[in-house]
Structure formats: structure tokens, C-alpha cells
Structure 1
Amino acid sequence: MRKKRILAALTALALSAGLTVVPAKAAFTDTAGHWAEGAITKWSEQYGIINGYEDGTFRPDASITRGAFAGILDRFLKYQAVSPAETFSDTAGTYWEQQILKLHAAGVYLGNNGQALAGDTITRQQAVTMIARAFGVTGTSTALPYTDAADIASYAQAPLAEMTARGYITDCADGRFRPTEPITRAEIVNILNNMVTVLVQTSAVYSAPVEGTLMINASEGAYLKGMSISGDLIVAPGVTGPVVLEYVTVGGTVRNFSNVELTVIADTSKPEQTPGGSTGQQPSAGIQPSEVYTPSPTTGEYITYSGKQYPVYAGVEPNRFAQNDFIWDPVHPDRLMYVGGACSTSFGIDVSAYQNRECENNTIDWQAVRNDGVEFAMVRIGLRGTSTGAIHADAFYKQNIEGAMAAGIQTGVYFFAQAITVEEAIEEADFVLSLLEGHQINGPVAYDWEMHDSSYRVYGTTPEMATACAIAFCRRIEEAGYKAMVYAGQYVSYVKYDQGALAPYLSWYPEYKSASSEKLYPTLYYQMDYWQFSSSCAIAGIGDGRTTKVDANIRFNW
């Protein structure tokens, strides 16, 4: 009935009224001929996301405060939840207080030592990081193709790498990112323009095809009908009314940040969504999880993660570590040392083609790596694409295996998995085994199944299927005579995996620490065999040995 009322009231409206992007004459006295003129017109005059001044200027090259930037993101996403007024010590009564508290509730605006610093100028790296958080932009990209990459703060490196990889950052023609410089109003508009092609701000029926990404932020909901979107479909957190997709195809992914469930009258091409909406459909044919394993018993206790409770599996050893078990190495300040005394440890790294490409002739100096104290290495042997599902070998896996083994480093391999069926997991294992033919390794073979956001093909995979895929891979690996290991962070460990069923295999857990970390131990409820504690360690023989980022690990030898 709600859908019919929307249609009846809005059929007479122009289908694309107020939404089509049309180049217009500059509405401001200072934007004619500016490099961002078109984007400024679109996002100021058409959508009203970033406004001009009363004197008729836009001031495209002016900086902006942290508070005003929060206002822009709030107008874009229309956040609903608000953090307590006392969250920051310096926001009470200030102009941008509500917007800052909304962004804080959404995990976007974190502040600094309890202060929001709303009046401070926001830098380029701060702004890009906040935009990435707001839009859930995460991924595996680590490359920072900027000549001043060494100046980029550690907190901004991963989001900036992914934002760059997706083509959202296009204002660095001279090769520099300029991380600590103030971001300008034009640069903000340019990033938003690169991320979103069309913004739906009303519940009017929309049917015009979109070459790019369409975002809905209409509080009352929206109705998309008989159209195609070549990029992503994003539903903002401020959408509270119904969203209807009638004969809509989406070439990218659906990212639903709202609490409303989408009504799909005809299938979209990729109906997977971020938390808050309905989940994607998984293949029903083929080997079923029940044919692979029997669910493990639980203890009746629960782990609280992201506000939800997940069962504790019986017979799985809990985490033994405590705060005093780890210290920073006085010789290598970016490496943690285990000083607890309950076991011996080894220091190791994991590498992929990303590290090779930072080296002269794409070659890691493995002897220098060994001389720098590295005792074991996990080499990426291959990967399955997060969108296409195609399987590829790592471009440098052969030379990395051979180089590490020749240097006397214990060597294992890992495969970046994206299996959504048991058959695909077996295919991944067989692919790894085929690549290992003719190569000697003396370390484990790890299954690295990750799901960062809805752009990953594994999004929506049920916990039963995810567990079955991991077990199928590991069984195939161990049948071939290798030791299997499962790599998983907290989300996959708690939400997707039956830990009791995976207990027979080694575990590899990532949780990064830095000098500012309050807890220097891994906080996963369960005990792990390997801990990836950093993604930014400097290792001799890889790149320049100072600024090239390498994942660092500790192996616990019980």
C-alpha cells in the first residue's frame, strides 16, 4: 500500500526532476574557469551539499574547519544517532556540536584526546580518512603512489590507499598528496563528485540510467524503476522511509547503511548489502555445509562483538595473553616482543607482490631479511578476485618461496580466498597445490578468507558455508601433506566461523598495534598460533628498509 501511495502521488512528477547532472553557468563570481567549476555547480547549486557565501563567492581554494566539514558529511548522509553531549570536552554550545556528535556516533569523527577541535582547519589526510569511514571504503589496497607517502600518518595510509585505488583522489597531478596541508572546498567537492554521480534527495520516482554510482539520502525513501546503475547503489544512514527497486540492475554493489530493508520487485544483479539491510542470496546447489562438518557444541557463554552476542565454542582454548606479556623491542621499536615466558616465539613477516614492487628489480633481498632477524615468512601464493572471482597466482610467489628458503627462513604460503561454495574452496586448495609443485616449503599453508565490505563477492555468505569452505580448503591441503592454517580477524572469527570445527587447524590472527595502543596483547577471545601485530614494519632487504610497509608477525611455539 505504501508503494502504491508513493506512485500515485509522484507519477505526475518528472522522473528525473532535480537529479540529472547538467553543466550550468557558474552561479558564483569566483568559480568561472576553475578546475572544479562543474563539480562545484553540481554539489552546491544542484544538491546543496556545500554552499557558497552571501557575497556571491564560493571561495573554492579556501580551507575549511573540522566542524564545517562535519556539517558537509552530515548533510550528505543525514545521520540519525547522536553521541552523548559530554563525548568531547570542547563542543558544548558550539555551532557544529550536533553534527560532530552524529559523526562520532557513526564512528567517523573520533576527535583527539577527548577534544573535537571543531575550529581547527582540517587537513587533506584527515578529511580523506573521515570520508572513507563515512562511506565504508575499506579494502586490501596498500600502495601509496605519492612522492610524499612517507609524510602520510599511519592512521590515514590504508583509507588513502583504497580511496586512491578506487579513483576518488584525482588532484595530485604533481605526484604529491600533501597530507598535512589544509583541504580546500574545491578538493572536497571533487572527491564527492568522483564518488557519487547522482544523489536522490526526494521520494519522486527515478528512472534515468546512471553511468556511475547513485546514492539515496532522501529521508522519506525512494523509488527506483526500470533503470540501470553501472556503479554502486548507496543508501545513506538517514533514510528511514521505504526504498523500492523495481526492475533495477546494479553493475557494482549495493551498500545499505540505513535500517530499512530494500524492496526488490525484480532481482538486482548484485543484491548484497552492508549491515542494516537484507543479505545476498547464496548458491544452493552443490556440496552443502552439513556434508562437510557437524556444528560444534557451545558452552552457553557469549562474546559481545559490535553490540551483538556470539556463542563461545566448547573445547577451544581461550586466549592466554595479558598486558604485561608484550613490550616494544628496544632494538627495533616497531616490533613487539613476547616476554610472558609461557612459550618461545619466532618473528616473521608476510609478503606479496606489493612488497616486491617496492624493491629494485622487483626482488626482495631475502638474505638481508634473514640478517634483520626474520625467522619465518608467509608468502602470498595466489588470490581469488573480490568481484570477478577469477583465480590468479601472485606474480612473485616463485622467487619469494625460493629466496626465503635459500636464506634459511622457514617459509609458508597463504591464499587470499573468496570462496562462496565448498566447490570453490576445493578449487582454491587445488590451485595452491598445483603452484607448490616443484617448490619446497617447510611452513603452513594458510586460508585467508576476508570480507571487508559489500564490494567483496563473499558478502552475505552464511556462517555455515564460510566454515565449510575453510574446512574443505584445509582438509585438501592436509591430505597433500602440508599443515593447514586459517587466517581470520575478529569479525570473521566471531560472526562467520564455527571455532570448534576449525580447532584442528593452526590459527593466524590480525590485530595491529602502535605506540599509542592501550592494549599490547591480542584481544581475540580464542588462543592463536600466529599473531599479525603490524602492517607497517620496516624490514631490511624490502624496499628501502625504512619506509616500505611490511606485515609483522609473532609465532607462538607452545
Structure 2
Amino acid sequence: MRQIRLPKRILSGLLAGALLLTPAMAFTDTGGHWAETAVNKWSQEYGVLQGYDDGSFRPDASITRGAFAGILDRFLQFQTAAPSGTFSDTTGSRWEDSILKLNAAGVYLGSEGKALPGDSITRQQAMTMVARAFQLGGTDNPLSYHDEAGVANYARPYIAELTARGWITDAVENSFRPTESLTRAELVNLLNNMIQVLIQTSGNYSSNVDGTLLINATGGAALSNMTVSGDLLIAPGVTGAVTLDNVTVSGEIRNFSSITPQITQSPAETPVTPEQPAPPEQPGTPSSGEDFDWGIVVTPPPAAPDTPGGPDQPAAPGVQPNEVYTPGVPTGETFLYDNRQIPVYAGTERSQLSHGDFVWSGDRLVYVGNQFRTRFGIDISAYQNRASENETIDWQAVRNDGVEFAFVRVGLRGYSSGKIAEDAYYRQNIQGAMAAGIETGVYFFAQAITVEEAIEEADFVIQCLQGLEINGPVAYDWEMGNSSYRVYGIAPEMATACAVAFCKRIQEAGYTPMVYQSSYVAYMKYDQGAVAPYLCWFPEYKSDSSEKLCPTLYYQPDYWQFSSKCSIAGIGGNVDANIQFIR
């Protein structure tokens, strides 16, 4: 495939200070070096990397922690900074701004209140920061390096994730060398493995990309009539429009910005369209376990009038949907969604919420209507632990910050492998939240394609909760992303049967079941008459620029996940924020 050819200009000083001074040209000391190709690509093709006045690149020199923060900041252009004084040793440092922005993003956590900007960054520190910066939550897969015993616990899941993705290619004789200083060549090699094409200038692009494409042009970009064989990444610093017209993304769309990409598709293509932006760690974007993590949840719209989500998979042998639930009864009313008339079912309640019912108070929406009593809550998983000091959430501080309820991720099923795994921190999070007096529920990221699998997922949750006390709902978070999801194309009848089977099993065990459902899943995959008996948790993110400060789901939700970027005392990084509606 042809790659996009971009203007060979310097990217706003990207890598300035760490990769300094000489203009893009062949360096005197990279000929024959193992990273020569990567260095030349990012210096000569893109004009991004630079060397020193003497014409050298010094590929085997180390990088300081501060300079490394500057690299990641300029690469992704983070927007929000932590308060000055967060670290005791950054005042006056040329890297202070970048360090504070990475700290606000949950990337740069420091050590005992210090950032240590002048220290060389070790390989395990660098891999951890890269994974956090790109919102890769990590995996519990075992490491196979000869020296894996020397890898620190905080870095282990991130190194495992980068290894599983094939991005760490500089292990010498299968040694990772976790405590050695990262070299400039090793950094270039890692970034080159992760990103194949960079769009740093706003404009129109239509050439195929063989690999992963990163857009970090502040003004956005317009892509059309092209294929991206890897992932499409949108940097946090992108504030302009990103449009995709007849673009096929074979991997994942991972959106780290506050904008929502506009995606259109010709009728002949199988489209991928965005729902609301979804951060890592909202239900559906798990960050521990294998094959996960995006900055946007994508759900494919119908591929044909009667086959939402692509061609329906044939019913699997075993328990059939008609053995699990009785179809809902349509009222004869309909409403319009995605140019389709969606039936309204008996026993459902239309939303009573409107734009004027909500106002912003800092980064939190507050309900000012008069029909409901509301409570403020959050949902968390391993990502928040790993972004917090000592990987531990201060639940009393969370409670003191006004959090009244929390949903803790218990576990997940891999969206491609189908393997079930528990969240590494669920037990300590449940115990901590309950001890702080926070009403505590849980959720499971589900990928069931049969009734038997849905029951297996419910039984897994019940087993995990043995010996633990919770007093909130147990949520079934079944989501369908792009065609790499194992649930892609599942028939609505089976999707509904899986949800109902899970909820029935949870209810039988004495817990209150709840169904997490986006607009697409609610309208195109679930029989709302069948799931009406269960609580509804609806995700839709709002910002200052939102036209409507209310959930747009036709039905009345019990819980609304309204933000992915809330700041909560006692928790590092961004947190998903929710409102509960109580009559």
C-alpha cells in the first residue's frame, strides 16, 4: 500500500531538547546502526527527529525522565496540566510543563513527591509511561524474558502489553534489561513500531496507510477513500474536526481527544461509526487482560436493512433465545434512529430528562430538574489503580469528594480470544469503597455469544463476589465494536437472550442486575421489552460544546455515565462520572 506523504517540516519542536539541534539530514553516527532506518524515517521523511550541532544523533545515549516527558507531550499534545507544586523538584525545569501535563493524564506519577526530571529514564519506566500515554492498560500475560524476575510489579502489565503487540523488538538474547537506561535509538525504534504514519498538518488525505496512523494536527484532518490496515489514533491535542469518508480501519479507532470523529461510508462499504467518545476504563474499554484499550468505543451501524451490525451469525447450538425470554410487545409507536423506525415496547418508560435539567459545576454535571432525586458516582477498574499512587485508591478521599456510589469492574472476557479474566484490583477496590461508606456495585465486560457463555460470565462474577459484601447493582456490560469483536454480527435475539440470562442468574444469586447499553445496542441489539425489568445504565459523554446536556436515549435510564474525564480526589488520572436518577 502507498503511505501518506506528508510535508517534511519539523513538528512544533517535537523531541526538542532530547533530540536536538541539527536539521533533518543523514547523521554521522547512524550508518549501519540497527535503528538507522527508523531514525532516518522520522528525521528525513517527516522532519520530526533532530540530532546535535556536530551532525551526530548519538543513538546509544540515554534520555532523562524530563526530556522523555517532553517527547510524549509533544507527540500527543496533552491539554490539561496538574497544579504547579505537584512535584517538589520541577520548578524552573524546562520540562515542568510537560511533566505536569503528563501527571494530569495519569502518565507521569513521580516518586515520593519528586519528578526526578534529570535522572535517566529506565527501560521499564519508559515502557510504563508510553503505555499510559497511549492508554494501553496492560495485560496479565506472563513475561518470557530471561530477566523477567527483575521487572517491577508496576511495569509488568505494561511491558507484557507492549510485548504482546509486537512493539518491543530490541530485547537482546531475550533479555529485557528493565533497569538499564533507555537509549535514544530504543525510543525511536519503539515509536516507529507503534506508529507508521503521522499527520501533523491539517488537510485532506486519501492514500492508504500500511499500519497505524496517528493524527496530532491541532486543526484535525479529513480522510477519504482510503484504508488504514492498523489502528487510527487521534491525539489529545486535536481540537479541530476529524472526518472519515469511506475509510476502512482494519484495527481500532482510539480517540484520546475531546472531539468526536464524523464518519460516513458509501453503501458498498462496511462502515464503522463512533458512538460517544469512551475513555479507557469506562465499561467496554477494559485495560487489564488481553487485547484491549481504546479512547473511543466504535459500534458498526447496520450493514443491511434487516441485519444490524453486519450479517447475523447463525444461532449456535445449545440454549436458544426463545427458551430464555418472551419477546416484548410493540406498542405500535416508533421513533427514528439512524434513518430507521425503532419500535417502542410495552412496559418501557420514555426519558423524562431534558437539556434544561442539567448545569455544569466544574467537571461534573448537576441535575437541577424536579422529577428525580440524584446521586453522583463513578466507575473504576485497574486503570485507575495503576494511575494512582502505590496503585491504591484512597477511598476515604473519594467519599469526601462527594462520591456516593461506585461501580467496580470485576472482570472481563477478551473481545477476540474469549478468555475470561478478573480485574487485578477488584477485591481491594470493593473492600475500600465499602469501608468508606460508598454504595458499591460491580460490572463485567461481557462478550457472550451464546446463552451458555452469558451464564458462565454471571457465574464468574458470583464466584468473584464470594466473601465480599456489596450493596449496589451488578452490571452486564456487553458491547459490540468493530469486526474484530467476537460478538460482531450476533443476532439481536441472541444478544437479548444473553443479557436476560446473565441478569436472571445474577438475580437468583441475590444481587440486583443491571444492563449497560449504548444507544446502538439498546435500539439495534436488545429487545427493550425483554430487558425492561432490569436497571439501565446508559453511556453518553457531554462537554461544554454539547448541544444537549442530557442523555439522548429514548428510554429513561437509571444511571447515566456522562463523562470520561472527571477528576476525583484519591484517584489518579481521569475517571468516568455517573448520575443516578431516583424517583
Band the TM-score falls in, shorter-chain normalisation = 0.5 to 0.7
Q: Distance in 2 between matches of 1:160 and 1:553?
A: 24
Unaligned runs of 5+ in 2: 4-23, 50-73, 78-97, 106-130, 138-160, 169-184, 214-224, 232-243, 253-263, 271-298, 305-309
Match of 2:521 in 1: 492
1:273/1:474 CA distance change after superposition, 3 Å: closer
Kept after mapping to 2: 8 A contact 1:385/1:418: yes
Kept after mapping to 2: 8 A contact 1:451/1:459: yes
Q: Distance in 2 between matches of 1:483 and 1:327?
A: 30
Shift of 1:283: 4.5
Shift of 1:446: 0.5
1:162/1:407 CA distance change after superposition, 3 Å: closer
Match of 1:194 in 2: 211
Structure 2 residue 568 is the aligned partner of structure 1 residue 551: no
Shift of 1:299: 2.2
TM-score, normalising length: structure 2: 0.55
1:292/1:59 CA distance change after superposition, 3 Å: closer
Q: Output the amino acid matched with 2:555.
A: Y
Matches within 5 A, 1:10-49: none
Structure 2 residue 468 is the aligned partner of structure 1 residue 439: yes
Cα shift readout 1:385-426 (whole Å, capped 9, x = no counterpart): 101101111101110010000000000011110000000000
Shift of 1:39: 12
Q: Distance in 1 between matches of 2:415 and 2:391?
A: 25
Q: Distance in 2 between matches of 1:512 and 1:451?
A: 18
Cα shift readout 1:510-545 (whole Å, capped 9, x = no counterpart): 1111111121111100001001111110000002xx
Match of 2:549 in 1: 520
Matches within 5 A, 1:109-128: none
Match of 1:292 in 2: 324
Decide which of 335, 342, 346 is 1:314's aligned counterpart.
Answer: 346
Cα shift readout 1:418-443 (whole Å, capped 9, x = no counterpart): 00000000000011001111000010
Q: Distance in 2 between matches of 1:444 and 1:316?
A: 20
Q: Distance in 1 between matches of 2:375 and 2:434?
A: 16
Structure 2 residue 215 is the aligned partner of structure 1 residue 183: no
Structure 2 residue 496 is the aligned partner of structure 1 residue 467: yes
What RMSD, in angstroms, separates the aligned Cα atoms of the two structures?
4.7
Cα shift readout 1:169-202 (whole Å, capped 9, x = no counterpart): 999938999xxx98279xx999944339xxxxxx
1:478/1:517 CA distance change after superposition, 3 Å: same
Matches within 5 A, 1:392-541: 392-541=421-570
Kept after mapping to 1: 8 A contact 2:206/2:226: no
Q: Distance in 2 between matches of 1:557 and 1:539?
A: 23
Shift of 1:147: 8.2
Paired positions, count: 374
Shift of 1:451: 1.1
Q: Secondary structure at the match of 1:478?
A: helix
Unaligned runs of 5+ in 1: 1-18, 22-28, 42-56, 64-122, 127-144, 197-216, 220-229, 241-250, 263-271
Structure 2 residue 388 is the aligned partner of structure 1 residue 388: no
Q: Output the amino acid matched with 2:332.
A: G
Q: Distance in 2 between matches of 1:218 and 1:360?
A: 43
Q: Secondary structure at the match of 2:211?
A: helix
Kept after mapping to 2: 8 A contact 1:490/1:524: yes
Kept after mapping to 1: 8 A contact 2:2/2:207: no
Shift of 1:507: 0.6
Structure 2 residue 371 is the aligned partner of structure 1 residue 342: yes
Q: Secondary structure at the match of 2:434?
A: helix
Q: Distance in 2 between matches of 1:408 and 1:300?
A: 45
Q: Distance in 1 between matches of 2:521 and 2:363?
A: 27
Decide which of 46, 65, 70 is 1:60's aligned counterpart.
Answer: 46
Kept after mapping to 1: 8 A contact 2:394/2:571: yes
Deviates more, 1:453-462 or 1:302-311: 302-311
Match of 1:173 in 2: 187
Q: Secondary structure at the match of 1:469?
A: helix
Cα shift readout 1:131-160 (whole Å, capped 9, x = no counterpart): xxxxxxxxxxxxxx99854688xxxx9996
Q: Distance in 2 between matches of 1:283 and 1:454?
A: 18
Cα shift readout 1:448-491 (whole Å, capped 9, x = no counterpart): 00112111111011110000000000000111111110001111
Q: Distance in 1 between matches of 2:421 and 2:104?
A: 33
Q: Output the amino acid matched with 2:458.
A: A
Kept after mapping to 1: 8 A contact 2:315/2:494: no
Kept after mapping to 2: 8 A contact 1:447/1:474: yes
Q: Output the amino acid matched with 2:463.
A: S
Shift of 1:324: 1.2
1:30/1:498 CA distance change after superposition, 3 Å: same
Q: Distance in 2 between matches of 1:406 and 1:527?
A: 31
Kept after mapping to 1: 8 A contact 2:517/2:537: yes
Q: Output the amino acid matched with 2:577.
A: A
Kept after mapping to 2: 8 A contact 1:260/1:276: no
Shift of 1:322: 1.0
Kept after mapping to 1: 8 A contact 2:454/2:499: yes
1:38/1:414 CA distance change after superposition, 3 Å: closer
Q: Output the amino acid matched with 2:342.
A: Y
Kept after mapping to 2: 8 A contact 1:282/1:460: no
